[in-house]
Amino acid sequence: MGLTDEQRGEIAAERGESRSTRRVTVPALEEILYEALPVLDHGFVRVVDYMGDDGAVVQAARVSYGRGTRRVSEDRGLINYLMRHRHTTPFEMCEIKYHVKLPIFVARQWIRHRTANVNEYSARYSILDNEFYIPAPEHLAAQASTNRQGRGAVLEGEAARHVLGLLRDDAERAYADYSEMLNVDEAGAPRDPSWPGLARELARMNLSLNFYTQWYWKTNLHNLMHFLSLRADAHAQYEIRAYAEAMLGTLERWVPMTHAAFLEYRMNAATISAAGLRVIRRLLAGEAVDRQSSGLSPREWRELMAVIGRDA
């Protein structure tokens, strides 16, 4: 994992401190607070701060001034109700902040979610580390023939070796040229004292999208679940899905009742269109329904049949 000695020292110092507070804390999340959870070859996700818990969701929904005296089963039932009926405001009362190290091309996908506060490492101010993402062989795949933004068969043999070589050679060459333009050696010292090197804001444009960047990403619980519903989905690109799955684990530690409701009513559930619902009702009534008589497009028909476990 891509942690420097300085970062390890900072994390150890953070995890070594303990503070007394009147605020609600979550022991399971406190166990991994500040810890870097590895993702991909050099990346990580770590929780650096949070506010609220399952009780805060319930409290906001009931608009009570205390923690409440309801039983856990009643709290779970209320959270399930809120999730099932998409009452999102109570979930917005909880917030979480992550420190994430990720490839630039993943960051460009991630930033499409515009419901968070983001502050990214500045390559105008600092020099990027010589760390870039190379896919594991099982994730190196050809372009899918049926999905313009997806992967097909895994590359094997000479084709895989050739592509991996190109990726590594291009990244290494790009960083070497980046360092030369900055006029710094591997230790960051000037190569030629007679000139200051190219401006960092210009030299960075030479780097490829598989180089790593870092940012702090703060969001509320509702928007975090929206992010996870899309990016932890099996159809999401593998690289961003790897980060989402790590964050899904932190969600379970932080708000276990909300996490269970999220899996039940969002991640493992399905949304059926009005036309699809009519097809299901006709099937339940014993009527023979085919795609042509369903009123659905071929793709909608395939998706519906997959949801109800029938052959398309």
How high is the pLDDT of residue 186? 84
Q: Strands 212-220, 117-120: parallel, antiparallel or unpaired by DSSP? A: antiparallel
Q: Which residues of 217-241 are buried (b: 16+ CB within 10 A; e: fewer)?
A: bbbbbbbbbbbbeebbeeebeebbb
Tokens 């110092």 sit at which residue? Answer: 13
User: For residue 26, which amino acid is it?
Assistant: V
Longest Cα–Cα distance in the chain: 85
CATH class as words, domain 1-133+210-269: alpha beta
Question: DSSP for 211-277?
Answer: BEEEEEEEEEHHHHHHHHHHHSSTTS-HHHHHHHHHHHHHHHHH-HHHHHHHIIIIIT-----HHHH
How high is the pLDDT of residue 5? 82
How high is the pLDDT of residue 2? 67
User: In angstroms, rounded to a whole number, what is the distance separating the alpha carbons of residues 17 and 211?
Assistant: 33
The residue ranges of the chain whose pLDDT is under 70 are 1-2, 64-70
Per residue in 59-111, pLDDT (tens digit) is 999 886 666 556 788 899 999 999 999 999 999 999 999 999 999 999 999 99
How high is the pLDDT of residue 73? 85
Q: Could you tell me the two tokens for 94?
A: 């909880």
How high is the pLDDT of residue 271? 93
How high is the pLDDT of residue 259? 98
Residues serving a catalytic function are 231
Write phi, then psi, for 44 (nearest 5 degrees).
-160, 165
Say if CB 82 and CB 57 are below 8 A apart: yes
